Amino acid sequence: MNSPFVDHRLENGLRIVIERMPEVKGAAAGFYSRTGGRDETPELAGVSHFLEHMCFKGTAKRHWRQITIDFDDLGSTYNAYTMKDRTFYYGWVRADSITQQIELLADMMKSLLPPDEFDMEKNVILEEIAMSNDHLENLAYDFLNEQIFPGHALSWPVLGYEKTVRDMTRDQMHDYFVRRYAPNNLVLVVAGNVEPQRIIDVADELCGDWQPSPSTNSRSKPTFTPGKSCKVYPRYNRQELGHVFPSNGGCDPLEESAETVASILGGDNSRFYWEIEQKGIAPSVSVWRIDYEDCGVMVLAGECDPEKCEQLFDAMHAEAAKLTRDGPSPEEVQRVKNRRRTSLAIESESPYYRLGQLLDDVDYRGGPRTVEQRLAEVDAVSRESIGEYLEEYPITEGGHVISVGPRDWIPSN
């Protein structure tokens, strides 16, 4: 069986990953820059996200208004996002418009960073930071990263800080832009009803003269710091609790087993739902993972009345201990696998969602996987693989306890 993928690299280093989906009517494309918060220096915290905004603000060919109009004229479903380890710009269109979509995205990768727009957009970013700081869950998430990865670039928020954004200059951003948006640090990802050689030819015509950067900076793996940390915010009436444990990264063979543990404990119809939410201990409790290519964490988290911190923490710990001691039931494992299979099957039919799956594979695993390969990894999850994960990455001892809200509280043991 012929592979649906084409993986090609231009002479300047730009990688092009394509999945042919001849049965669909549309196509999606995106430029992925391997850059995010973990690639910033402390004084430039937030520059990756700020830069994402600026790439919509004007090029040598288009004013910012024209960029928006051209997306709409294509009928594109488009957006961009910045994470701690990547920035992605993408659009989903009819298959016969995919080359125009790629041209528009490629033009944005050569933003002029207009000085007048830079100053105006800085105010937008500062407002985003202020709005984020109005939400206790955002404050708790930022505090969590600061405590588990102190001193590492993963410790600061993607938005940056008010001071770093306010003090940032356009020249500083431009220097970062030239280094991080070089073709040897970019990947063009395309999925849909496309002819691969045509995509490669268009990419070469649009991007072939882009100059590579001699250095895109190396990343250092963070060290997880265990402990207990509390931050008091008197203005809130709820408390955010989290117990954070080291976990595997996005390319680990036990990734699906880790996701199954999170779902059994804190997903839909989970143990946390029945034993904590439904018993009135806390209105919101969950388990989720943060994963990167080289590391990850598992977070047991809940929001509660400040007077119920002890009860919530003990209940989360009890369910984690029970799962570790007894393992999951076969029915729990099967239920989670069925949901995962359905999700993968639905996503596999849409170029929009396949684009995100391909990006994860290219970023964390070095190359794309077929839907069948992904499903095989789901099928391989078992009580035994879950036990193997829990033995390698315990969720009953150690870790880092985070408490954020009006009460000055951390567990005594």
Residues in the chain: 413
- Res 55: pLDDT: 98
Element (H, E) at 28: strand 26-33
Boundaries of CATH 3.30.830.10 in the chain?
A: 5-207, 227-405
Residue with tokens 């870790």: 399
Q: Which CATH superfamily includes the segment(s) 227-405?
A: Metalloenzyme, LuxS/M16 peptidase-like (3.30.830.10)
- Res 1: pLDDT: 56
Mean pLDDT of successive 10-residue stretches along the chain, which has 413 residues: 91 97 97 95 97 98 97 98 97 98 98 96 98 97 98 96 98 96 97 98 98 83 96 98 96 94 96 97 96 95 98 98 97 96 92 94 93 94 97 96 98 87
User: Residue 48's closest CA among 134, 138, 158?
Assistant: 158
Helix (H, G, I), strand (E, B) or coil at 211: coil
Q: Exposed e or buried b for every residue in 280-295, given b needs 16+ CB within 10 A?
A: ebbeebbbebbbbbeb
- Res 214: pLDDT: 87
Element (H, E) at 243: strand 239-247
Phi, psi for residue 398 in degrees, rounded to 5: 75, -145
Phi, psi for residue 396 in degrees, rounded to 5: -120, -10
Task: Evaluate the CA torsion angle 146, 148, 149, 151 in order and state its sign.
Answer: positive
The rounded distance, in Å, linking the Cα atoms of 37 and 342 is: 33
- Res 250: pLDDT: 87
Strands of the sheet with 239-247, listed across from one edge: 227-232, 400-405, 239-247, 296-304, 284-291
Phi, psi for residue 354 in degrees, rounded to 5: -65, -30
CATH 3.30.70.20 fits 5-207, yes or no: no
- Res 255: pLDDT: 94
